[in-house]
Amino acid sequence: MRFAKKLVPIALLSCLILTGIPLISLAQADPLQPGEVAVGTVFENLFIYTPLQHDIVSHVLTLGFAAQAAGLVYFLATLNNVAPRFRLSSVLSAVVMSSAFLELFQIFQNWNSSFVFSDGVYQLGQTAFSNGYRYMNWSIDVPMLLLQLVVVLGIARKQAVSYGTQFIIGGLLMIWTGYIGQFYEVTNLAPFWIWGAISTVFYVYVLFVVGQLINRTAGDLPRDPDNLPKAMRFVFWFVLVTWTIYPIAYLMPVLWPTAWGAVTRQVLYTIADITSKVIYGVILSYIARKQSQAIGYEAAIATARR
């Protein structure tokens, strides 16, 4: 029975890949007819932007990669303030910061090179803008973010492997199915909705597992010097709220198919990246430091006195 359960995610992943390949293969490189839009075109490429709209996106993306860089410095600088058993959480946060910095900087460059200023507005030039970089980055970051919970909660090895496996498989399937769907956001809403719905199923599954893990283990955390069980339960609601920003941004081509809708999507994605990665990491770092203080780790006690 356990072996069968292990085979289910593998079989499901294989089915998704086999189903997704034919869908992606529809994006042929044949010459387009006048007014026709190629499969894979993101809706940001459909609009003309005012200097205000263009600069809002550029500035928000700058804030995004700057926040990740600041987070990287913070997690490296405070690494030794937590006990060795919890230190991997800060290391994983540093990995997330590095990955997200490179991704947001790439998107910043892509945005500024894709649109050319002419006649007082920004129009699409020779290079198309793409959100695909985000999904590749999330493929790295989401498993790392979820594994941090396993580290900070300090659960037994067998449980850690079980939860870690569920987090990695569920998280990657959530991202990759959404990645397939976003190729069709302006050409065919049927696969856009179908793959978005499948991605949402995995999103709900991952959140369920996160909630299950926290509910089962948060009560074992020390209540002194701070109420860490309460802090950890807050983490669940924080993840729920910040992660929900992503599907809202995904649906922006349907909810608000205008230039301002495109601007709003980039703002939402970047806000979600800052909160769900940097701030989330800081919260877990705080919990790890307080746990270290509770078990008498001297560096954590010393920083608590400051």
Q: Mind listing the pLDDT tens digit for each residue in 15-30?
A: 555 445 555 555 455 5
Do the domain assignments include residue 225? yes
CATH number, domain of 144, equals 1.20.1070.10
Q: Are the CB atoms for 273 and 281 separated by under 8 Å? A: no
For residue range 123-166, list pLDDT tens digits in order.
Answer: 998 889 999 999 999 999 999 999 999 999 988 888 889 999 99
Predicted local distance difference test score (pLDDT) of residue 21: 53
Predicted local distance difference test score (pLDDT) of residue 29: 54
Predicted local distance difference test score (pLDDT) of residue 250: 94
Do the domain assignments include residue 247? yes
Domain that holds residue 144: 50-304
Q: pTM score, two decimals?
A: 0.86
The closest alpha carbon to 291, from 115, 85, 90, belongs to: 85
Please give the angle made by the CA atoms of 202, 205 and 208, to the nearest 5 degrees: 155
For residue range 181-221, list pLDDT tens digits in order.
Answer: 999 988 888 999 999 999 999 999 999 999 999 999 888 88
Predicted local distance difference test score (pLDDT) of residue 30: 55
Do the domain assignments include residue 168? yes
Do the domain assignments include residue 22? no
Do the domain assignments include residue 295? yes
- The model's confidence at residue 4, banded by pLDDT at 50, 70 and 90, is very low
Do the domain assignments include residue 90? yes
Q: Is the pLDDT of residue 244 over 90?
A: yes
Do the domain assignments include residue 288? yes
Do the domain assignments include residue 16? no
Domain count, the chain: 1
